[in-house]
Structure 1
Amino acid sequence: MSPETTQDLVARLAARLGPGGLLTDASDVAPFAIDWRHLFPGRPACVARPANTAEVADVVRLCREAGAAIVPQGGNTGLAGGAVPDGSGTQVVVSLARMNAIRAVDPVGLTLTAEAGCVLKTAQDAAAAANRLLPVSFAAEGSAMVGGVIATNAGGLNVVRYGMTRANVLGLEVVLGDGSVVDGLRALRKDNAGYDWKQLFIGSEGTLGLVTAAVLRLAARPRHVATALLAVPDPAAALRLFTLAQDELGDAIQAFELISGLSLDLVARHGGPRNPLGPADWYVLIEAASSLPALREAAEGVLATALEREDAVDGVIAESGQQAAGLWALREGITEAEAKEGRGVKHDVSVPIAAIPDFLAAAGRALAEQLPGARANAFGHMGDGNIHYNVLAAPDQPGETINHVVHGVVDAFGGSISAEHGIGQYRVAELVRHRRPAEIALARRVKAALDPEGLLNPGKVLGRE
């Protein structure tokens, strides 16, 4: 796109969006031009800030007429660089932040309808005000926006009970690459009338269309919560503990986190909260929630049995919400502590739950053999098979080599190289390397059908052909 065409497009967008609807000054555009991890700096032509679905549709049409690529952006909290432009200066970032209304809350039908720019925490609070629970939850919920959460199919802490974002979306409103609007904002639990087209857009990272609003599934708000931190001898013991917790607590389990001793050592070393237990190689953080009053007694029974079987060597159950928040602060402080420790190469992987102990052992051996001195910092959502297998590495150990080592082990266990963070631009090459050719070919056919001109978030997920 020529400078003249870019300038003309910017003028047309400014006229359509009005005051406050378009950002062009370098200082205003800067926060939209780089990802949260500061790995992928870009340079957009401008940042469009539509205030409603009609304006989104017009922005898309104007960009298409000019041949300009569009990069949708929500809260820009993703970890794979999927919401930032390239450095060409010709791509238009479309921020959905002004579309932040909660359109409806239905406590009887257990649904909430929100616009794409609504911050997730705001939606959670609206559900709580109606004595209901919006179960999608993760560390960035205070700034992540509903549209981005859906576009990346975000995971988080409660997947073991409530599923990924995909499982909590009942309806979508989407603007396609030609500017047409598809309104599927149906609050139905059962709708078997034709293709479930919304699933194409959940997790597509803005490469197939722009999510502008959604109907989200709510749940009953539990009255009782039990949170416990246990020290365990090894991942195999943690797996047995997970089975025990399932037997005794059933679907009350909403989080089951495996945390390495190294993770909590890093938290302590870099000023994080105090670990109430003694040193251990591994820990498990369990949270269960229910409206039934016997939950705490059941949790105490799980802890007692685990100690008796020596699947746990120590443990504590929170006595208050404040203590529970303290235990979660240990888990949530790992990423920041890891960043302070030095260079880390991150891997967001999943394997079958039963294979987690063997995967961790095999990945540890592969690192020791091929990258001596590299340290694995493993933690994550054991209850749903997702491990953040981050590698603290020396500057002369190439990130690409580390990726190949870890992802090779993931492949051997039938796993996925991206459990919840998406592909973005960070993992494009690895996706092509590890997905079957027929799956990549099918994805490209879908992309070509919905975005034949390749203007929706180009270079993300499937890369450039």
Structure 2
Amino acid sequence: MSVELNDADESFITGLRDILPAAAFLEASDTFLTEPRGRYKGKGVVVAPDTTEQVAALVKACYDARVGIVPHGGGTGLVGAQVLTEGRIPVILSLSRMTKVREIYPEEGVMIADAGAVLADLQQAARDAGKMFALSLGSEGTARIGGLLSTNAGGLNVLRYGTARAQCLGLEVVTPEGEIWHGLTRLHKDNTGYDLRDIFIGAEGTLGVITGAALKLATIPAVEATALLAVESPAAALSLLSLSRDIVGEGVSGFELMSRVGFEFLMETGLLQASPLQPLPDWQVLLRIGLPAGADVEAVLEHIFTAASERGLVYDGLIATTLAEAERLWTIRETIPEGNRLIGSVASHDISLPLSRIPDFIPEAARRIHDVAPLRINCFGHLGDGNLHYNAFPRAGENRAIYEGIRSQISRIVHDLAVEMGGSFSAEHGVGRLKVGDVERYSDPVRLNMMRRIKAVLDPNGIMNPGAMLR
């Protein structure tokens, strides 16, 4: 969608100062101008309203002046949606001053919060009310709920509780024309027309600005336990998942697949001294179950281990006997992306596949990549929902810069194969600016056309996150 925009120049900012308080204008520091992988350096004027009405006034001014807006949550996204590198100077609309938990209804299992609330703070607020907000991911100490909804984030608990979309009842949104949609419903059933909530969730700020959310709260499992299990292969891991569900049903709340390479990276970078399981397995599964009061959760895990061992699925493992030990195991899993960052990837991929195709995809993708270059592959992810992080790295002692010329070729190999096997090139990190070309390459033409028509109708001046998701 090509629309001529204008710069957020000095004259425009002077006009904003007449309608917004001085505290709303922040320094355009690297916090707002860079993204975690360092591949994008953005530009813009940072404005941080602290009420929905101020957001609406800001957006209305941008709409009238045809100035682009880049919504900015915690800045933790990995596809460049939070930075604008080309074109006119935009307003970077930061939600960092809108952090309130507005209301909690424990009996209803609902919490209403500002879009700038940090995920970890929402989790704590839910715990203080005797409930659980189940969305959980490695960046929860900085990621903000508006951004997480805008990317439909997943994380570690999708298997049991679903993505961010599944944990949201309603939204408050400022439209591109500066109107406020008051959609903070607490209803679990409401079939009165189009579900506008689902239009904005996952839209990456291209259709409007989420300013508030009504979130579902879950019951805290009375007892939980974690086990780290060595499996023979990804195929064995899938069979283990099926077996675990047969035994405890929806009690399986976490099921993470981790490769040997991921642990080697953690030890290579000093983030882990030694693997909990020795010798280091080629493949491991981190399993968490949560059960009602009265259940002997450790006995259940032992039963799963015994049954899996008898079927040749598992050959080693340990059960965390304390909360601290369980947290240590989950910290290892959550630290894998940091190990990847320190090693420096040639190409990183966030893909999803039908579960039954995963055992075929992993070796075939490696074979195709190794035909191009002798790269190391770190494959890990949320096996229960088919989401893999399939990343390629230089050999030990090499700098990734020497492979820069084949980075796009490696990504094409991975994405082509994922789509060929019925999967997606974007599982939970979104499209941003990094994958706009992939949207055009892989999307069904009818779907792509409908997306463009929705964008044109809701954002006729093209001011919302220009260049992200669609072009």
Query: TM-score normalised to the size of structure 2?
Result: 0.94
Asked whether the 8 Å contact 2:37–2:341 carries over to 1, the reply is no
Show structure 1 runs of 4+ deviating over 6 A.
none
The aligned amino acid for 1:351 is L
The aligned amino acid for 2:457 is A
Tell me the residue number matched to 1:376.
377
Tell me the residue number matched to 2:22.
19
5+ unaligned residues in a row in structure 2: which ranges? Answer: 395-399
Tell me the residue number matched to 1:437.
445
Q: Which moved more, 1:326-335 or 1:337-346?
A: 337-346
Tell me the residue number matched to 1:37.
37
Task: Please tell me whether residue 352 in structure 1 is matched to residue 351 in structure 2.
Answer: no
Tell me the residue number matched to 2:183.
184
Asked whether the 8 Å contact 2:6–2:65 carries over to 1, the reply is no
Tell me the residue number matched to 2:297.
295
Tell me the residue number matched to 2:397.
none
CA displacement, residues 310-336 of structure 1 (integer Å, 9 cap, x when unaligned): 211100010011100111122112111
Give 1:282-321 correspondences, 5 Å limit: 282-292=283-293, 293-321=295-323
Asked whether the 8 Å contact 1:376–1:392 carries over to 2, the reply is yes
Q: Which moved more, 1:132-141 or 1:6-15?
A: 6-15
Question: What's the offset of the Cα at 1:252?
Answer: 0.8
Tell me the residue number matched to 2:366.
364
Asked whether the 8 Å contact 1:227–1:287 carries over to 2, the reply is yes
The aligned amino acid for 1:189 is H
CA displacement, residues 84-117 of structure 1 (integer Å, 9 cap, x when unaligned): 1234462000001111110111110000000011
Tell me the residue number matched to 2:260.
261
Helix, strand or coil at the partner of 2:189: coil
The aligned amino acid for 2:24 is G
Q: In structure 1, what is the Cα distance between the partners aligned to 2:275 and 2:319?
A: 13
Asked whether the 8 Å contact 1:17–1:49 carries over to 2, the reply is no
Q: In structure 2, what is the Cα distance between the partners aligned to 1:218 and 1:343?
A: 36
Tell me the residue number matched to 1:408.
416
Helix, strand or coil at the partner of 2:22: coil
Task: Please tell me whether residue 225 in structure 1 is matched to residue 233 in structure 2.
Answer: no
Give 1:31-430 correspondences, 5 Å limit: 31-44=31-44, 46-88=45-87, 90-273=89-272, 274-278=274-278, 279-292=280-293, 293-369=295-371, 371-393=372-394, 395-396=402-403, 397-430=405-438
Q: Which moved more, 1:411-420 or 1:9-18?
A: 9-18
CA displacement, residues 226-281 of structure 1 (integer Å, 9 cap, x when unaligned): 11101111111111111111101210111101111111111122112332102111
Q: In structure 1, what is the Cα distance between the partners aligned to 2:6 and 2:366?
A: 51
Higher relative contact order (CA 8 A, sep 6+): 2
Asked whether the 8 Å contact 2:75–2:143 carries over to 1, the reply is yes
Helix, strand or coil at the partner of 1:187: coil
Helix, strand or coil at the partner of 1:344: coil
Asked whether the 8 Å contact 2:68–2:88 carries over to 1, the reply is no
Helix, strand or coil at the partner of 2:19: helix
Q: In structure 2, what is the Cα distance between the partners aligned to 1:253 and 1:343?
A: 32
Q: Which moved more, 1:152-161 or 1:307-316?
A: 307-316
Shift in alpha-carbon separation, 1:425–1:42, aligned structure 2, 3 A: same
- What RMSD, in angstroms, separates the aligned Cα atoms of the two structures? 1.4
The aligned amino acid for 2:287 is I
Shift in alpha-carbon separation, 1:287–1:213, aligned structure 2, 3 A: same
CA displacement, residues 128-163 of structure 1 (integer Å, 9 cap, x when unaligned): 001101011101111111111111100000000001
Q: In structure 2, what is the Cα distance between the partners aligned to 1:174 and 1:410?
A: 34
Q: In structure 2, what is the Cα distance between the partners aligned to 1:124 and 1:14?
A: 35
Task: Please tell me whether residue 7 in structure 1 is matched to residue 26 in structure 2.
Answer: no
Q: In structure 2, what is the Cα distance between the partners aligned to 1:211 and 1:313?
A: 48
Q: Which moved more, 1:417-426 or 1:87-96?
A: 87-96
Q: In structure 2, what is the Cα distance between the partners aligned to 1:109 and 1:165?
A: 18
Report the count of equivalent residues.
Answer: 457
Q: In structure 2, what is the Cα distance between the partners aligned to 1:344 and 1:169?
A: 35
Asked whether the 8 Å contact 2:81–2:204 carries over to 1, the reply is yes
Q: In structure 1, what is the Cα distance between the partners aligned to 2:6 and 2:430?
A: 32
Helix, strand or coil at the partner of 1:323: helix
Q: Which moved more, 1:390-399 or 1:122-131?
A: 390-399
Q: Which moved more, 1:271-280 or 1:46-55?
A: 271-280
Q: In structure 1, what is the Cα distance between the partners aligned to 2:87 and 2:360?
A: 45
Asked whether the 8 Å contact 2:345–2:391 carries over to 1, the reply is no
Question: What's the offset of the Cα at 1:200?
Answer: 0.2
Asked whether the 8 Å contact 1:260–1:379 carries over to 2, the reply is yes
Q: In structure 1, what is the Cα distance between the partners aligned to 2:140 and 2:229?
A: 26
Shift in alpha-carbon separation, 1:2–1:351, aligned structure 2, 3 A: closer
The aligned amino acid for 1:363 is A
Q: Which moved more, 1:111-120 or 1:31-40?
A: 31-40
Q: In structure 1, what is the Cα distance between the partners aligned to 2:81 and 2:373?
A: 32
5+ unaligned residues in a row in structure 1: which ranges? Answer: none
Q: In structure 2, what is the Cα distance between the partners aligned to 1:89 and 1:361?
A: 44
Helix, strand or coil at the partner of 2:314: coil
Q: In structure 1, what is the Cα distance between the partners aligned to 2:259 and 2:17?
A: 51
What is the percentage of aligned positions where both structures have the same residue?
40
Q: In structure 1, what is the Cα distance between the partners aligned to 2:329 and 2:277?
A: 11
The aligned amino acid for 2:236 is A
Q: In structure 1, what is the Cα distance between the partners aligned to 2:276 and 2:429?
A: 30
Shift in alpha-carbon separation, 1:228–1:80, aligned structure 2, 3 A: same
Shift in alpha-carbon separation, 1:266–1:29, aligned structure 2, 3 A: closer
